[in-house]
Structure 1
Amino acid sequence: MNVPEIFISCDWGTSNFRLHLVDTNSLNVLAEHKTDMGIKKRFQDFKMQNEVSQEVFFAEYLKEQISALNYAKGNNLVVVASGMLSSSIGMRELPYAKMPIAFSGKDLISTSIHRDNGPKIILVSGVRTETDVMRGEEIQAMGLANHLPKEDRGILLLPGTHSKHITFEKGRFEDFTTYMTGELFEIISKTSILAASLNQVDWKSSFQPAFLEGVKKGISNQQMASLFAIRASSLISDTAPEQNYFFLSGLLIGGELANLKDKNETVYLAASGIYNVLYELALLSFLPKKRVVCFETQIIEKALLIGQRKILESYG
């Protein structure tokens, strides 16, 4: 097919649904629409009925939500959908592409779905190694690849609920490792015995010493010995729960980053908001500044769209 002037970016995650109407050339977002109908919830609704197939059930919701973009040519648009829509609880399960994959994304597995009176949907697979899998982050990585050195090697760091460390070399993503840093922090801070010793507050520079002390212990592989110390310090030393909160954050982030201390590659950090602040602080606490590259917010915001445009162009 010819590359259209406009396409729809579909980012359908576990908990949220997002559509963006995108100008293909400039990648300017012309309209957007979001709901809380994540893949997990939609799949649960599918299991509660027996009238239509799984593919039709998801396609109907997608078509309905596209109408909310209020674009007159909606029926002629192409949707590029990455992430969980190609999982077993999505529209149609696609097998994982196997690492390594080129920066261009040509090694990814994709398929085109075009149902009657509906948009054409380009569905994109995730990727795997022998021991790990991901769906969605690989498209963001493909977008960020435009800002990575093509003839060098390094590590792309994507913090989040399940942080990804993706190694690359000479125009290919070679391997990756997933760290459950964000999810562990959520569980420990809200459901463990430590919850009573923690208090979530906005970041202030006064919390930096506590955070970096946590990072130091995490990098030194002292997480297990340091966790209950949070509870003890609140009882014995009356340590403020706000300080404990950022100590715990540093402890887990330090544990995640510990493997980078013995590597020589440059680390490329793609994080926004508080993630950017904390991960940059942690990285610079043990790596020289020249080996840490932090992407600007506008680069990160465009990464998914750039990656999806690469997929779209492969159908041109």
Structure 2
Amino acid sequence: MKPPDFFISCDWGTSNFRVSAVDRATLGLISSIKSSEGVKARFRKFEAGQGMPRADFFLSYLLEQIGKLDVPHLKNTVIVGSGMLSSSIGMKELPYADMPFSFSGQELLKERFELPNGNHMVLISGVKTPNDVMRGEEVQAIGIAEQLPDTGKGVLILPGTHSKHIYFNNGRFERFTTFMTGELYEVIGTHSILAPSLQQADWDDVYEDVFMEGVKKGLANTAIASLFSIRANSLLNKASPINNSFFLSGLLIGSELASLVDKNEKIYLGATGIQRKLYMLALKYISAIDDLLCFNTTDMQHALFAGQLKILKTYV
């Protein structure tokens, strides 16, 4: 039987799972399944004792979800797995590749193996520096690299739970820094004394001033000293929990971006949804518009698929 015109993309993160059938020619999404069965939760179930090897335990769930995809057939398909799937708590641990790596991603470590049903899987590892690691974002980076300049340098910002600033020069990603921006927002908003003073809400332009107030304090490296003012403003000035929430976002994003001030770096932002709006507001404050490019939502939705397909093409 002729191999299908699609491949299976598996993006298995710490907290979430997504498997998709992706058109090879257009990177269009054919069918997708999502769940909250992240690698962390799956590994905990494995540790509880399931009577099968770890790789088989992860694979059983993966194949079960793939079977739910709305595709004509699954014969001769290839699954490309990235993210935490190759971590120490994933399906099979692969060592990190070293920085730097080229836009092609050829230096990334990967392993191909046959599955019990006769299909094949390509597992992609992460990358490391002497003091930082990432798994997953490197695949997004090589996927979006088609739209980065082959000559010259800049920084690719990928916001998220653990935001990445990936610096590139002349077609190679050279170094990166991780910022725990998203996780800090969640921890503060869920477990700290500030939690009752915070309320998430959809974006509205009326929140821009309070958000930018937080950004400016974060850029000035006064975030730690400013955090408790959220509770004080709530108690003394009856500040809106929604306003407080956007102020907190500004503090954390401003702190993350402080290292870019006066660096004259070309900045490329890869974000969707509210993160796209917030990071653009903050970046426009510190960077000339000619030095700033924000990829559109479609670009970022395709970035993971494009990166995985680049890796797949090294095998087939």
Separation in 1, partners of 2:122, 2:309: 11
Per-residue CA deviation, residues 219-269 of structure 1 (Å, 9 max, x unaligned), is: 000111111122222223332222221111101110000000031111101
Taking structure 1 as the reference length, the TM-score comes to: 0.96
What does residue 159 of structure 2 align with?
A: 159
Aligned pairs (5 A) from 1:135-150:
135-150=135-150
What does residue 40 of structure 2 align with?
A: 40
Separation in 1, partners of 2:274, 2:77: 36
Asked whether the equivalents of residues 253 and 279 of structure 1 are also in contact (C-alpha less than 8 Å), the reply is yes
What does residue 262 of structure 1 align with?
A: 262
Aligned pairs (5 A) from 1:265-280:
265-280=265-280
What does residue 245 of structure 1 align with?
A: 245
- Give the aligned length: 315
What does residue 127 of structure 1 align with?
A: 127
- Deviation of residue 72 (structure 1)? 4.4
Alignment partner of 2:112: what SS?
strand
Which consecutive residues of structure 2, in runs of 5 or more, have no partner in the other structure? none
Separation in 1, partners of 2:62, 2:115: 12
Per-residue CA deviation, residues 146-202 of structure 1 (Å, 9 max, x unaligned), is: 110110100000001110000000001000000000111111122211122222222
Taking structure 2 as the reference length, the TM-score comes to: 0.96
Separation in 2, partners of 1:240, 1:90: 41
Asked whether the equivalents of residues 110 and 123 of structure 1 are also in contact (C-alpha less than 8 Å), the reply is yes
Alignment partner of 2:68: what SS?
helix
What does residue 215 of structure 2 align with?
A: 215
What does residue 228 of structure 1 align with?
A: 228
Answer yes or no: is 1:314 the counterpart of 2:314: yes
The one-letter amino acid of 1:209's match is D
Alignment partner of 1:18: what SS?
strand
Instruction: Let me know the Cα RMSD of the aligned residues.
Output: 1.6
What does residue 115 of structure 2 align with?
A: 115
Separation in 2, partners of 1:69, 1:63: 10
Asked whether the equivalents of residues 3 and 75 of structure 2 are also in contact (C-alpha less than 8 Å), the reply is no
What does residue 97 of structure 2 align with?
A: 97
Alignment partner of 2:79: what SS?
strand
What does residue 84 of structure 1 align with?
A: 84
What does residue 174 of structure 1 align with?
A: 174
Change beyond 3 A, Cα 1:89–1:70? same
What does residue 184 of structure 1 align with?
A: 184
Indicate the percent of aligned positions where both proteins have the same amino acid.
53
Aligned pairs (5 A) from 1:277-316:
277-316=277-316
Separation in 2, partners of 1:294, 1:50: 45
- Deviation of residue 141 (structure 1)? 0.7
Alignment partner of 2:194: what SS?
helix
What does residue 11 of structure 2 align with?
A: 11
Change beyond 3 A, Cα 1:3–1:212? farther
- Deviation of residue 4 (structure 1)? 6.1
Separation in 1, partners of 2:70, 2:195: 45
Change beyond 3 A, Cα 1:190–1:37? closer
Per-residue CA deviation, residues 265-305 of structure 1 (Å, 9 max, x unaligned), is: 11101111100010000011121111111111111110001
Separation in 2, partners of 1:20, 1:225: 44
Change beyond 3 A, Cα 1:242–1:63? closer
Alignment partner of 1:80: what SS?
strand
Alignment partner of 2:248: what SS?
helix
The one-letter amino acid of 1:183's match is E
